[in-house]
């Protein structure tokens, strides 16, 4: 028996993390075991790498390599075993984020990321990716009103614009997997859209 792999993607400030508790509740109500995790992170090693990735300045390719190092451990110890026993894995970010942030925003060649993706993931891809999309201005307004920003969240509007464009391009290239959600509308409407998508999974 194999489970389902659901990922949540979007710019910082898109509000995707807000929906995780409700998604877990809905899936559990349908009788599924749900493993909720995040990237970078998800394991003890991954969380240590997360601190470096979010706060330490480094070359964009170094960043990419560390992301995939954390991802390899994540797949081996959390995602893979959970899917193998039939659980639903819900991950706050996965490889699409690397294409958006390190490739789209920071210019790491997609060909290099593709090599790492094949090496680290083999055939593993999410079954469904929920992309929470908001205009750049909305993202930045929300970030300004919340927590102390990490190094990515402190970037300028052009950086966020490149991320958004990269995400939307990924969605266009993978229409069977992506569900693009307008996360700029009222929260109740976003919740309704998420619930409608989950009903089809």
CATH number (domain holding residue 21): 3.40.50.300
Cβ neighbors of 74 (< 8 A, separation 6 or more) are 37, 39, 41, 42, 43, 46
Percent of the chain scoring above 70 in pLDDT = 95
Residue that has been written with the tokens 């790491």 in this structure: 108
Task: Evaluate if residue 1 carries a pLDDT over 60.
Answer: no
Task: Evaluate if residue 181 carries a pLDDT over 90.
Answer: yes
Query: Whole-angstrom Cα distance, residue 163 to residue 165?
Result: 5
Supply the mean pLDDT for the chain: 92
Task: Evaluate if residue 150 carries a pLDDT over 70.
Answer: no
Long-range contacts of 125-128 (CB under 8 A, 24+ apart): 125/5, 125/177, 126/5, 126/6, 126/7, 126/91, 126/94, 126/177, 127/4, 127/5, 127/6, 127/177, 127/201, 128/4, 128/5, 128/6, 128/7, 128/177, 128/179, 128/197, 128/201
Residue 136: band (very low, low, confident or very high) from pLDDT cuts 50, 70, 90: confident
Task: Evaluate if residue 169 carries a pLDDT over 70.
Answer: yes
Query: Whole-angstrom Cα distance, residue 79 to residue 135?
Result: 31
Percent of the chain scoring above 90 in pLDDT = 77
Query: Whole-angstrom Cα distance, residue 150 to residue 154?
Result: 6
Range of the domain at 113: 4-198
Q: Nearest-CA neighbor of 177 among 109, 96, 97?
A: 96
Structural domains counted in the chain: 1
Query: Whole-angstrom Cα distance, residue 72 to residue 122?
Result: 11
The pLDDT tens digits of the residues spanning 56-96 come to 999 999 999 999 999 999 999 999 999 999 999 999 999 99
pLDDT of residue 146: 66
């Amino acid at each position: 028996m194999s489970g389902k792999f659901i990922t949540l993607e979007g710019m910082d400030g898109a509000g995707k993390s807000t929906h995780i508790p409700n998604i877990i509740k809905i899936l559990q109500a349908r009788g599924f075991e749900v493993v909720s995790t995040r990237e970078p992170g998800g394991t003890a090693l991954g969380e240590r790498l997360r601190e470096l990735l979010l706060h330490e300045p480094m070359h964009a390719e170094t960043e990419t390599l560390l992301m995939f190092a954390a991802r390899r451990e994540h797949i081996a110890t959390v995602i893979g075993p959970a899917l193998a026993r039939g659980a639903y894995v819900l991950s706050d970010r996965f490889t699409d984020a690397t294409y958006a942030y390190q490739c789209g925003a920071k210019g790491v060649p997609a060909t290099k990321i593709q090599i790492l993706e094949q090496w680290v993931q083999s055939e593993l891809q999410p079954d469904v990716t929920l992309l929470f999309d908001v205009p750049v201005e909305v993202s930045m307004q929300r970030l300004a009103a919340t927590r102390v920003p990490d190094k990515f969240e402190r970037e300028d509007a052009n950086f966020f614009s490149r991320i958004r464009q990269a995400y939307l391009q990924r969605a266009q290239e993978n229409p069977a997997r992506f569900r693009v959600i307008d996360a700029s509308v009222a929260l109740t409407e976003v919740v309704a859209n998420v619930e409608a998508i989950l009903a089809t999974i």
